């Protein structure tokens, strides 16, 4: 067979672009969150480092690099060190299947603005998100600390429970588009309307389930600071803590990107097929709107009790998601789908 060198270079550049986008995005999402939270609480937020506080993430990063890293004596050292890495990697690779825009022409080549257009993109997303539980669970266990352990166990139960509703929420759009490829799902939305209009229930279930999946408030049970000090990352400090922190924000970006692609039409927008470079801009705009939603919810809602959280997942979201699949099936049969 033989793969051209040009294709390999193209893939490497795209992969690097995704990694840079995720890590730089992480830094600025923390600032975005602090700024928005501050404005909602009638404060200014960070405004000292750089103009309007724009260099605050850099300052935070430098601070974390120079912090002392502690490893508890009775911790399981190998897993303790591996756990943050196992949390970050799934978060970084999950967006590899998301299309960023239509095909562009550059240096005489047709380059799709997407790293990998695989047929099973949605299933890929589900497998990666099911793998991402390990880092948190093992981080909690290996610390040899009861609070960390409880946080880890809670997060395992929580993430497994909400994964079901999450997967079923994505089934509706798959049925309408007739494909698991995110590219096909976006194209199907180009031919009709964004799926949030056809699948409002699925979109709501998806948003609730991903908040639980990335352990954000009001479902930030694993790190409930009043009960568990800091949950699974109680014993982590310095860069290892920063990696957990980073994973949470990168996951937020990733699930917002996937949500924007499946329910809001992804890179679609006015004139996107004439000016392909608008694709990534539209997508980032939609992601920023969803991230604003995440932060807004955090600023508004108190944390719900753990048993209520599990009951919500199993007794409300899961049956509703199943119902949505059945209704979508009926809809496609009655109105001819697409």
Partner 1 sequence: MLQLTPQLIIFFSVAALAIASALGMLFSRNTVYAALLLVLNFTTVALIYFMIGAPFIGLAQITIYAGAIMVLFLFVIMLLGTEVIAKHGPVGFQHIAAAFIGLVVIAEAIFVFLIKGQSALSIIPGGNVVDVMEIGDLLYNQYLLPFEITSFILLVAVIGAILLTKQERVKSRIGKDEAKK
Site for partner 1, rule CB under 8 A: 1, 76, 79, 118-120, 123-124, 126-127, 130-131, 133-134, 137-138, 141, 149, 152-153, 156-157, 160, 163, 180
Q: Which is nearer to partner 1, 148 or 198 (CB)?
A: 148
Query: How far is the C-alpha of 244 from the C-alpha of 242, rounded, in Å?
Result: 5
Residue from 85, 91, 149 nearest 125 by CA = 91
Q: Which is nearer to partner 1, 128 or 278 (CB)?
A: 128
Q: Which is nearer to partner 1, 86 or 287 (CB)?
A: 86
The residues near 88 (Cβ < 8 Å, ≥ 6 apart) are 135, 243, 246, 247, 250
Q: Is 43 helix (H, G, I), strand (E, B) or coil?
A: coil
Query: How far is the C-alpha of 162 from the C-alpha of 187, rounded, in Å?
Result: 28
CB 298, min distance to partner 1, A: 26
Instruction: Tell me the C-alpha to C-alpha distance, in Å, between residue 156 and each of 88, 129, 132, 152.
Output: 16, 12, 10, 6
Q: Which is nearer to partner 1, 121 or 253 (CB)?
A: 121
CB 281, min distance to partner 1, A: 31
Q: In the chain, which ranges are continuous DSSP H helix?
A: 5-40, 56-65, 77-93, 121-131, 133-142, 146-177, 182-191, 195-198, 200-213, 225-228, 238-263, 278-300, 306-311, 318-335
Q: Which is nearer to partner 1, 19 or 126 (CB)?
A: 126
Q: Which is nearer to partner 1, 156 or 217 (CB)?
A: 156
Reading the block at residue 240, the tokens are 């290892």
CB 98, min distance to partner 1, A: 16
Q: Which is nearer to partner 1, 159 or 317 (CB)?
A: 159
Q: Which is nearer to partner 1, 89 or 299 (CB)?
A: 89
* Residue reference for tokens 């960070």: 46
CB 126, min distance to partner 1, A: 5
Q: Which is nearer to partner 1, 20 or 120 (CB)?
A: 120
Buried b (16+ CB within 10 A) or exposed e, 116-152: eebeebbebbbebbeebbbbbbbbbbbbebebbbbbb
CB 279, min distance to partner 1, A: 26
Query: How far is the C-alpha of 180 from the C-alpha of 265, rounded, in Å?
Result: 15
CB 55, min distance to partner 1, A: 39
CB 136, min distance to partner 1, A: 10
Reading the block at residue 67, the tokens are 């912090």
Reading the block at residue 84, the tokens are 């943050």
Query: How far is the C-alpha of 161 from the C-alpha of 312, rounded, in Å?
Result: 10
CB 182, min distance to partner 1, A: 14
CB 318, min distance to partner 1, A: 13
């Amino acid at each position: 067979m033989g793969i051209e060198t040009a294709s390999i270079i193209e893939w490497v550049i795209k992969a690097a672009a995704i990694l840079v986008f995720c890590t730089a995005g992480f830094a600025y999402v923390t600032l975005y969150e602090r700024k928005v939270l501050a404005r909602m609480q009638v404060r200014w937020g960070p405004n000292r480092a750089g103009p309007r506080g724009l260099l605050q993430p850099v300052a935070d990063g430098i601070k974390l690099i120079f912090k002392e890293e502690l490893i508890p004596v009775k911790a399981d050292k190998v897993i303790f060190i591996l756990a943050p890495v196992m949390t970050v990697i799934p978060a970084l690779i999950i967006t590899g299947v998301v299309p960023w825009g239509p095909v562009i022409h550059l240096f005489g080549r047709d380059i799709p603005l997407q790293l990998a257009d695989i047929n099973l993109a949605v299933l890929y997303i589900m497998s990666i998100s099911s793998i991402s539980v390990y880092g948190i669970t093992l981080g909690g266990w290996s610390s040899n600390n009861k609070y960390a352990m409880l946080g880890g166990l809670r997060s395992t139960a929580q993430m497994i429970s909400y994964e079901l509703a999450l997967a079923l929420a994505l089934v509706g759009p798959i049925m309408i588009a007739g494909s698991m490829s995110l590219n096909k799902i976006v194209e199907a939305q180009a031919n009709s309307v964004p799926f949030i209009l056809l699948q409002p229930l699925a979109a709501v279930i998806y948003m609730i389930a991903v908040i639980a999946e990335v352990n954000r408030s009001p479902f930030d049970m694993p790190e409930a600071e009043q009960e568990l000090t800091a949950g699974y990352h109680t014993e982590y400090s310095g860069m290892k803590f920063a990696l957990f922190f980073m994973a949470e924000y990168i996951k937020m970006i990733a699930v917002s990107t996937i949500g924007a692609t499946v329910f809001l039409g992804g890179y679609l927008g006015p004139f996107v097929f004439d000016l392909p470079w608008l694709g990534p801009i539209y997508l980032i705009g939609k992601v920023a709107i969803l991230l604003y939603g995440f932060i807004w919810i955090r600023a508004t809602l108190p944390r719900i009790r753990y048993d209520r959280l599990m009951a919500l997942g199993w007794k409300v979201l899961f049956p509703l998601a199943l119902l949505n699949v059945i209704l979508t099936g009926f809809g496609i049969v009655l109105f001819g789908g697409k």
